[in-house]
Structure 1
């Protein structure tokens, strides 16, 4: 009888403790950062947007050649052109879904975001799916890995992908 009770306890403990939480532990923080970033995008605040990025920044949209932005001047030039283009003719952004995955030891992560651009009446103008790649801090390499706990999450690459229905 003692052996049966012991086996039941052992199996129960195995079931309880073997289930791992697959949620990225800083997922809520990444989602909060993205919400703050989209607020800056909605306001078309280029300086406000800039503080969310680590340089160098890579932007890769559609099948176009990736843009490698090295400094604030290049960033300002590209986003000033965006601000004057028809792509910025929206009122707000509605986040439809966010999935955050840890890519490397809480140092890199990827947020798969689907969002809709809305006009001032709340009608959808378009919907996009974008991958936001984050790095903890501005540094790449061994030094960045050692001091990552003191750094903030920054976006270092943005890539749009096709929406799969």
Structure 2
């Protein structure tokens, strides 16, 4: 039996035990009651965790492992400690969601680059100038139509006044 302070809190010892049991239970094939089995085996050592707590802890350890792997690829980042990676790596590296057997590319990425190319300043200025000229021409046309309509209204009003 393993000694611990609180049988329902996670610490390094319980995490290592959980990872070891998870590795043994998780054969890569889906199992209906995998987390119940993991929780029962962890609780055999005197701990008090349920299936959901075990599932969430493995999920958080997986995310931490993934962050540490990405951190190692960046320049200027201090590498994570060896303890963080060595034990977790042996468990998660074989999982298909952490290291897929193969990946499929969805298509040619060169077309995406063509769509997102920045336009030159000259091209933008030409575009703005053409649009400005169109707007000005449309504004003049609307103005002349309004003036013509206004002229007809005044003409009709003045004829009505003469008739009376």
Shorter-chain TM range is: under 0.3
Higher normalized strand content (fraction of residues): 1
More helix by share: 2
**Which has the larger Rg?**
2
TM-score by length of 2: 0.22
TM-score where L is the length of structure 1: 0.22
Higher relative contact order (CA 8 A, sep 6+): 1
